[in-house]
């Protein structure tokens, strides 16, 4: 699949997904016994147990659409590969849109940019980027959800994936991810029935598909994967028939990764009992069965035993050999949880139990003291490949958001501006190794909108322990651990009806283990000023600086950039 074809395909899917919103951002109800009934990993990310259908908000209905053309001049100074200053022209077309209605809603930001260099080849190129999520009600109790992401990341020597412009030894990779599927919620007497299905696709396009280590063999980076995720549940709330709530749930997750034909399968079924302690507090217990398998094939090897590399840089999969198990866990699972909801503004859900053959802890906390402020916190635990993990995070994006972009590069930030939970993707983008993994971590975001001021802060920790089959070329990653600490902040202020100011900041601290061990620290900050000249034309100026520090580099790298430009709004 060529880069042009992939860009066209993803952009089209993003446009199609612009009228949908994911149903994963759900509230907690102490009386619902379906907690954890979503597909593996969804409940672990913090989705509650209510109906998977998104609740519309008629008082907030409205439509916003702003297509634009933008021309800007950029000057950049950097110290790598030597101290130098260069300029380029940036021409972009794009559109930002959002819609909240009684039966449908969604948000989308799309952009295509062409860079024209002034005697410096590194500055030339093009970029298609976008982010979208939304839903549409197609029948009573039935909704269809879709979303997509197209962005770029800087890929370093140690496998770390971070935002920003490339430095020496880095390459830029294009990351794409889309998903779509229905969600159904209905009642059968006193029993609440919920079901959902999602199919997703993720792709990483790169010039060199391998991480080359001076002390060992090369390792694949992720190519693409297809994800199927489905769940069904039947629940009876406390007090409806019995003094306690009872429920059953089942789920299935499968990810097929192109690299060496890897496959991740996660099936579970369980029964849940919920006991109300007070009007705002309940405890729950669940017991069931799970089966989790991760398997792959080996690469084709030459007569000398060296793995064969294909045209795109990935290892060629040997289809003639049987699949080799890398991970095989099945048996009893259980968890105990507490759900606390003292008011509509505060909700806590926490669970501890046994999954994946060891202790598993998940939970969420949501606090919205007023309609202008929100604080969200989630603890997650799941197994996936890079594509599946990104697809899960994308499906959790909120209904109503504004994309946060770097004013100098046009790149999408790790978070979107929203008062709902699940508004950050940074934790899912930290490592591009092709091997499947178990991901455990925490994510938090705080957002506030006060009149003409909008600000947000997101941060978290993501730990991935990689799982690979013995005897294959992926085995060098087995047991390796990558840890990603990330932070994103933004602030937008309308100074008056003609001008506004925005600032963005990101930071990543990535510790890579295994063959490609090393530490990466990346950070960046920007500030932009916008001035409306007419009803359609605005001028803009921006400044930015970013840096990179790696444990095996002799010095820290940095770039500083400035921009002046004009945007025409249709």
pLDDT tier, 122 (very low <50, low <70, confident <90, very high otherwise): low
pLDDT tier, 519 (very low <50, low <70, confident <90, very high otherwise): confident
How many other β-carbons are positioned within 10 Å of the β-carbon of residue 171?
14
pLDDT in the model for residue 41: 41
Question: 333: left (phi > 0), else alpha (psi -120 to 50), else beta?
Answer: beta
Q: How confident is the model over 338-369, as pLDDT tens digits?
A: 999 999 999 999 999 999 999 999 999 999 99
Domains of the chain: 3-569 (2.40.170)
Higher-confidence position of 212 and 87: 87
Determine contact, residues 23/52, Cβ cutoff 8 Å: yes
pLDDT of 217 above 70? no
The dihedral formed by the CA atoms of 478, 253, 260 and 325, expressed in degrees to the nearest 10? 50
Q: In DSSP terms, which residues pair with 84 in a beta bridge?
A: 78
Higher-confidence position of 33 and 236: 236
Q: What is the 3-state secondary structure (H, E, C) of 152-209?
A: EEEECCCCEEECCCCCCCCEEEEEEEEEEEEEEEEEECCEEEEEEEEEEEEEEECCCC
How many other β-carbons are positioned within 10 Å of the β-carbon of residue 524?
26
pLDDT in the model for residue 18: 43
DSSP state of 357: T
- Contacts of 121 by beta carbon, 8 Å cutoff, 6+ apart: none
What is the average pLDDT across 421-437?
87
pLDDT of 4 above 70? no
Determine contact, residues 215/221, Cβ cutoff 8 Å: no
Higher-confidence position of 555 and 308: 308
pLDDT in the model for residue 514: 64
pLDDT of 144 above 50? yes
CA distance linking residue 14 with residue 135, whole number of Å: 13
State the pTM of this model.
0.86
Identify the weakest region by mean pLDDT among 55-59, 94-98, 276-280, 564-568.
55-59
3-state secondary structure (DSSP) of residue 407? coil
Q: Length of the chain in residues, anyone?
A: 570
CA distance linking residue 314 with residue 79, whole number of Å: 32
pLDDT of 207 above 70? no
Average pLDDT, the chain: 84
Q: How confident is the model over 71-107, as pLDDT tens digits?
A: 999 999 988 667 888 889 999 999 999 998 888 999 9
CA distance linking residue 28 with residue 90, whole number of Å: 46
Determine contact, residues 194/34, Cβ cutoff 8 Å: yes
How many other β-carbons are positioned within 10 Å of the β-carbon of residue 206?
21
pLDDT of 139 above 90? yes
What is the average pLDDT across 294-301?
93
């Amino acid at each position: 699949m060529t880069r042009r074809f992939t860009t066209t395909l993803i952009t089209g899917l993003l446009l199609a997904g612009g009228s949908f919103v994911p149903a994963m951002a759900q509230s907690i109800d102490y009386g619902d016994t379906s907690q954890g009934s979503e597909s593996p990993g969804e409940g672990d990310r913090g989705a509650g147990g209510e109906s998977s259908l998104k609740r519309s908000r008629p008082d907030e209905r409205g439509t916003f659409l702003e297509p634009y053309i933008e021309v800007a001049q950029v000057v950049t100074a950097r110290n790598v590969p030597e101290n130098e200053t260069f300029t380029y022209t940036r021409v972009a077309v794009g559109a930002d849109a959002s819609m909240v209605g009684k039966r449908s809603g969604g948000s989308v930001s799309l952009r295509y940019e062409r860079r024209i260099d002034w005697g410096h080849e590194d500055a030339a190129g093009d970029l298609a980027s976008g982010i979208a999520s939304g839903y549409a009600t197609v029948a009573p109790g039935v909704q269809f959800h879709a979303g997509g992401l197209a962005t770029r990341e800087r890929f370093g020597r140690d496998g770390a994936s971070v935002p920003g412009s490339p430095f020496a030894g880095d390459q830029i990779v294009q990351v794409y991810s889309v998903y779509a599927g229905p969600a159904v919620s209905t009642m059968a007497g006193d029993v609440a029935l919920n079901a959902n299905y999602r199919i997703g696709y993720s792709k990483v396009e790169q010039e060199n598909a391998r991480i080359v280590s001076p002390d060992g063999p090369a390792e694949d980076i992720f190519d693409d994967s297809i994800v199927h995720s489905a769940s069904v549940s039947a629940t009876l709330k406390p007090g409806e028939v019995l003094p306690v709530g009872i429920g059953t749930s089942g789920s299935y997750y499968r990810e097929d990764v192109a690299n060496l034909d890897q496959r991740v399968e996660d099936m579970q079924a369980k029964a849940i009992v919920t006991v109300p302690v007070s009007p705002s507090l309940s405890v729950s217990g669940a017991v069931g069965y799970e089966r989790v398998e991760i398997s792959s094939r080996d690469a084709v090897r030459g007569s000398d035993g060296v793995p064969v590399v294909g045209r795109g840089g990935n290892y060629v999969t040997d289809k003639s050999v049987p699949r080799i198990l890398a991970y095989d866990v099945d048996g009893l699972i259980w968890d105990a949880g507490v759900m606390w909801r003292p008011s509509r503004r505060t909700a806590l859900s926490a669970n501890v139990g046994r999954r994946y053959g060891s202790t598993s802890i998940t939970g969420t906390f949501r606090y919205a003291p007023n309609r202008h402020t929100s604080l969200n916190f989630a603890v997650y635990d799941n197994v996936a490949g890079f594509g599946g993990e990104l697809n899960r995070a994308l499906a959790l994006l909120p209904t109503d958001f504004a994309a946060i972009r770097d004013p100098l590069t046009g790149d999408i930030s790790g978070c979107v501006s929203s008062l709902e939970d699940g508004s950050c993707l940074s934790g899912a983008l930290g490592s591009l190794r092709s091997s499947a993994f178990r991901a455990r971590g925490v994510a938090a975001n705080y957002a506030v909108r006060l009149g003409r001021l909008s600000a947000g802060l997101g941060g978290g920790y993501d730990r991935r322990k990689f799982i690979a089959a013995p005897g294959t070329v992926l085995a060098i990653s087995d047991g390796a651990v990558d840890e990603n600490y990330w932070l994103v902040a933004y602030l937008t202020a309308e100074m008056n009806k003609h001008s506004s100011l925005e600032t963005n900041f990101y930071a990543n601290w990535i510790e890579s283990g295994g063959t490609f061990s090393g530490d990466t620290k990346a950070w960046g900050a920007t500030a932009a000023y916008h001035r409306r000249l007419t009803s359609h034309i605005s001028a803009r100026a921006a400044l930015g600086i970013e840096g990179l520090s790696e444990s095996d580099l002799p010095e820290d790298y940095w770039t500083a950039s400035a921009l002046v430009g004009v945007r025409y709004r249709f």
